[in-house]
Amino acid sequence: MKTAPKKTSRGKSNGHASPPDGDSRRWNLRLYVAGQTPRSLTAFKNLKEICEEYLKGKYYIEVIDLMENPTLARGDQILAVPTLVRKLPHPIRKIIGDLSDTERVLVGLDIQPR
């Protein structure tokens, strides 16, 4: 994800927030992708935009490239890519697809009521 210079390959990308600590209001999001495909890039871009707009300063994104770390697919039971996993707040939620449907992403993340 060369277009997202803020993160490393296993990448941690902060919104504007401080590094993770015990803040209970923190949104801990994990985006699983497989290689730097156009779809992965779109998903990351969409996620970033949504977070900036709705969760500014409260979120933390971790991007995991399964091409590099296939073992990590097991932990969160990833089959489809891209998959966005909301690790925090509980409960875990999963959103699959390139996140182009903003409305449904917001519902899926429980930012907007269903």
Chain residues in the site for other proteins (CB under 8 A): 32, 34-35, 39, 43, 66-67, 70-71, 73-74, 77-83, 92-101, 104-105, 107-108
Q: Would you say 23 or 110 has its CB closer to other proteins?
A: 110
How far apart are the C-alpha atoms of 32 and 43, rounded to whole Å?
10
* CB of 53 vs other proteins, minimal distance in Å: 15
64 near 36, Cβ under 8 Å? Answer: no
Q: Would you say 18 or 69 has its CB closer to other proteins?
A: 69
42 near 12, Cβ under 8 Å? Answer: no
